[in-house]
A and B are shown apart, each in its own frame.
Chain A
């Protein structure tokens, strides 16, 4: 029943961001996304595949760094695109960006999963059944890689909403307004989350450098 409720919630997502977004260089791509979503809603699988190819990698990166696991992230992104496919007919073009909608679904799934993980950890012997997954790091110099890996671990320890906010902000391509739309909150709340997250992460990073 909760799934049905969530589905209904997701289906209105495309219309939930009432404020028009500022024009940006990517607007043409957003218009194209609208067309692809409309075609996908009509059953065009090629259009859907193009949406996956265009937006999947970024959604995967977001989920990967949120969960700390590439496999979990792929499950989440698959589920997110499944929901997109099923709710595509409810999408209202020109109101919000498709990426905002997709990332909102991804973040909600990540937060749900984090909540279940917290509950799971309360169970006795839980780690024996499901040990944490390994995450090989990309190529970098050893020092950089250590610093980056350490920051990734710190990110995983942030509260879920702060974690989502900092990951959405990290590539510098989303405005705080867009992050607020993804997280379904206000810009002020996003600013507050970002301030807390950046301070926490920087303090830990400094602590390691001084040690």
Chain B
């Protein structure tokens, strides 16, 4: 006598692992083999699951369009040649480009700071530095 729950568990496992017992965990595959040997209902379930698996496999097929690989390789080559990629995208050059940009930004920032500094107008930043860094109470 096969318990209904055994069949239910078997049906769940068919959906979880597929009807191909070679893809099941070994211990569960052993249990399934034993059940299949004594239950026509289990065999019918597996057979139906196999039919549906074949239908699913057909549904998942899709032939690659003509020239597909050629186009992919060509597209990647074109992107590589892109001048922006040559400057920023290449992993090898990315660090160099970034470092160059950062250095340029620092130089521009310092230059602007010096050029627009109020020190030229007789302002002495010494007090501000004392307050900010030395916590001097003026």
Q: In the complex, A167 Cα to B59 Cα: how many Å?
A: 9
Complex CA distance for A155 and B89, rounded to whole angstroms:
37
Whole-angstrom CA separation of A57 from B65 in the bound complex: 9
Q: How large is the interface on A (under 10, 10 to 19, 20 to 34, 35 or more residues)?
A: 35 or more
> Looking at the complex, which one of A52, A86, A170 makes contact with B72 (CB distance below 8 Å)?
A52
Option from B15, B61, B65 in Cβ contact (under 8 Å) with A195:
B15
Q: Which residues of chain B are within 8 angstroms of A70 by Cβ–Cβ distance?
A: 62, 65
A116 to B69, CA, bound (A): 27
B20 at interface, CB cutoff 8 A: yes
Binary per-residue interface labels of chain A (48-71) against chain B in the complex, 1 for a CB within 8 Å, 0 otherwise: 110011001100111011000010
| From A45, A53, A201, contact of B56 by CB (8 A) | A201
Q: How far is the CA of A61 from the CA of B65 in the complex (A)?
A: 10
Contact A48 B89 (CB under 8 A): no
Among listed A13-21, A26-34, A74-82, A123-131, interface-contacting one: A74-82
- Chain A residues with CB under 8 Å of B12's CB are 195
Residues in A with CB closer than 8 Å to B72 are 52, 56, 74, 77-78, 81
A52 with B73, Cβ < 8 A, contacts A171-B57, A172-B23 known: yes
Answer whether A191 and B76 are a contact pair too, CB < 8 Å, given A56-B68, A151-B55. no
Q: Mark B76-88, 1 if CB is under 8 A from A, else 0.
A: 1101100000000
Task: Find chain B residues with CB under 8 A from A113 CB.
Answer: none
Q: Say if the beta carbon of B126 comes within 8 Å of chain A.
A: no
Check B75 for interface membership: any CB of A closer than 8 A.
Answer: yes
* Known A86-B91, A170-B60, A175-B23; contact A194-B73, beta-carbon cutoff 8 A: no
- B:22-51 near A, CB below 8 Å: 23
Q: Is A199 in the interface zone, CB < 8 Å from B? A: yes
Q: Which parts of B72-115 form the interface with A (CB within 8 Å)?
A: 72-73, 75-77, 79-80, 89, 91
CA distance A140 to B15 in the complex (A): 26
Confirm or deny: A6 has a beta carbon within 8 angstroms of a beta carbon on chain B.
Answer: no
B23 and A166 form a contact (CB under 8 A): no
Shortest CB–CB separation between residue A39 and chain B, in angstroms? Answer: 14
- How far in angstroms is the closest Cβ of chain A from B56? 5
Tell me if B79 and A82 are in contact (CB < 8 A).
Answer: yes
A138/B60 contact (C-beta < 8 A), A86-B89, A147-B55 known: no
Inter-subunit contact A172/B59 (CB<8 Å): no
Of the candidates B18, B62, B77, B79, the one whose C-beta lies within 8 Å of that of A61 is B62
A92 to B59, CA, bound (A): 34
Is A120 on the interface with B (CB-CB < 8 A)? no
In Å, the complex CA distance between A34 and B79 comes to 23
User: Contacts A74-B68, A175-B23, A191-B16: A148 and B59 contacting too (C-beta < 8 A)?
Assistant: yes
The answer, among B59, B63, B80, B91, for a CB contact under 8 Å with A155, is B59
Q: Which residues of B contact A (CB under 8 A)?
A: 12, 15-18, 20, 23, 52-53, 55-65, 68-69, 71-73, 75-77, 79-80, 89, 91
Known interface pairs A52-B76, A70-B62; 4 further A-B residue pairs with C-beta atoms within 8 A, sorted by A's residue number: A49-B69, A81-B72, A171-B60, A198-B52
